Amino acid sequence: MPTFLLTNTPLKGMLFLFVFLLYPARGYAGTLNDTWSNIDRTLSVFDPVGENVSQPLEKAVPALTFKGFFRQWSDINVHGSQQAGFRDKDFRFLQLQNLLEVELHYQLTDSIEITSVNHFLYDGAYNWQDSRGLYAPRFSETARHYHQLERIVREFFVSYRSHNFDISVGKQQISWGKMDGRFIDMINPMDVRESVQLEASDYEYRRLPTWMANATYFWGANSLQLLYIPNFEQERLPALGSPWYPPSVAPSDAIFKKRKRPSAGDFGDHEYGARLDISMDPLTWGLIYFYAWNDNPNFFITGADTSGSALRPILTPRHTRLHHIGVTGDYASSWSGVPLVGDLPFVMRIEGLLSTNVKFADAHRQQAALTGGDTNGYVNRDTLRAAVALELALPENTTFILQPSLFTTFGWRKNLVSSGFGGATAGNEWNLLPVVHLERPFRFTRDRLRASLTVFPFLGGPGDSYEGTKSKMVVSYKFSRFITGRLIYTSYDGGGHRSSFGQYEKWDNIGWELSYEF
């Protein structure tokens, strides 16, 4: 057993609970007491929005569908206030987020539908605790709550659907990829305000929808999808002064110029994508291509300020063009005669994305740029990010997933001092994340109680050979078809103070989520 499991007291408690829940619960599935039965019956029909809003509204407007959810996320840091890297970590709540989603569908005709998805978010972490280290709303009020129309109106599009052709025009999100992590899922940028805490299960709510035309032609079980995206949207990283802003980032005295973003009014700035999916049961495979902008800008050195005692670089943020070529595949089958199991269904998945002309900061070129050389401090490299996942359907409805994930930079050399889209972290030529996931429901609760464990070891080379391990334990309970609760423990262990997971060593946290869907 890893050393950190033996020394981390909160983690040992959660691990004990997890093992206890995984152990067959014979003899514990007796009759619930009257109190719990009454609570359970009350919760099973508790749907105030459905009864008082959705049903009356849909009855008054038969062509309208009204639904949504309210979700409360809270994470509490288990470490005390202290200096962590360059952060004054004098806060305990990493988030107190409240998100209301209101989704409306209006069936204009049998083939035409209008969809509107709206988000209203408020994070009380900035107001419900006294902290000097949390000042992100000074720079962006979006860190605290959605106050701009572009964030409130999340999706708004018109769709036309026929037997073999679909088209949607408007603000929307496209979900490509089924892996834990983002490999071919890169059409929409992401709001990664939670940094390494962001989970694949939250991508649906963290993607940033963009204005586009999305058309798909079907023949049999095959399809061809084409995308035209005139509106560029950049990725939203953790803001300075937010709970998850990286503690390894030192304050900078550089001079930053205004960022120039791609324009919707310039035809040459638009993005294009295509995806072909072929079904050859039990195998399905697909090819993708995306001509796009890098969602994160590169900070090019465009001069130096010599007026003071120290040389200050002048940095100009610019987004650069990338070509993405990807592949995906799914193979579903079953092994028979497996000892102790019998028939063992499995699914094998692969996803890979090759990106060309990715910009990486080069130490030699940056030095030359600061002294007036004819360079901007960057070089071009190709990158590959790929994953293979094996999912097993074990007895007792237990799911086991093993997913080795690789990130590599072609043509790597030691003087590359930054990471780039799809490549390894700074200082490394490659990174490997052999993700392991185990999840099981419990029959004595009619599968309403579930427990899961996910471990993310982060390896690399030749620089930081070990960047730490993230471990996540979740116990969830479905109180009704409307209400679900989750208890979560997340830990970050090992690695250096500047590594991907290691820098968050003092960010171990216990969280809960309560979701009401209507």
In a domain, 201, yes or no: no
Q: What is the pLDDT of residues 120-174, one digit of tens each?
A: 999 999 999 999 999 999 999 999 999 999 999 999 999 999 999 999 999 999 9
Q: What is the pLDDT of residues 28-56, one digit of tens each?
A: 445 556 787 888 788 888 999 999 999 99
* HEC per residue, 243-269: CCCCCCCCCCCCEECCCECCCCCCHHH
Report residue 4's pLDDT band, with 50, 70 and 90 as the boundaries.
very low
Tell me what pLDDT residue 35 has: 80
Average pLDDT, the chain: 92
Report residue 96's pLDDT band, with 50, 70 and 90 as the boundaries.
very high
The C-alpha atoms of residue 387 and residue 327 are separated, in whole angstroms, by 11
In a domain, 406, yes or no: no
Torsion angle (degrees, nearest 10) of CA 7, 8, 12, 15: -120
- The b-or-e profile of 460-487 (16+ CB within 10 A means b, else e) is beebbebbbbbbbbbbbebbbebbbebb
Q: How many domains does the chain have?
A: 1
Token pair 């090819």 is at which residue?
287
Whole-angstrom CA distances from 488 to 269, 395, 513 are 42, 24, 8
Does the predicted model carry a pTM greater than 0.85? yes
Range of the domain at 2: 1-24+32-45+443-518
In a domain, 207, yes or no: no
DSSP state of 51: I
Tell me what pLDDT residue 87 has: 94
In a domain, 450, yes or no: yes
**12 or 78, greater pLDDT:** 78
Q: What is the pLDDT of residues 269-311, one digit of tens each?
A: 999 999 999 999 999 999 999 999 999 999 999 999 888 778 8
In a domain, 489, yes or no: yes
In a domain, 477, yes or no: yes
Mean pLDDT, residues 478-488: 96
Percent of the chain with pLDDT over 70: 94
In a domain, 507, yes or no: yes
Contact yes or no for 399/147 (Cβ under 8 A): no
At 42, give phi and psi (nearest 5°).
-65, -45
Q: DSSP states of 337-392 as a string?
A: EETTTEEEEEEEEEEEEEEEEEEEEBHHHHHHHHTT-S--SEEEEEEEEEEEEEEE
Report helix, strand or coil for 9: helix
In a domain, 471, yes or no: yes
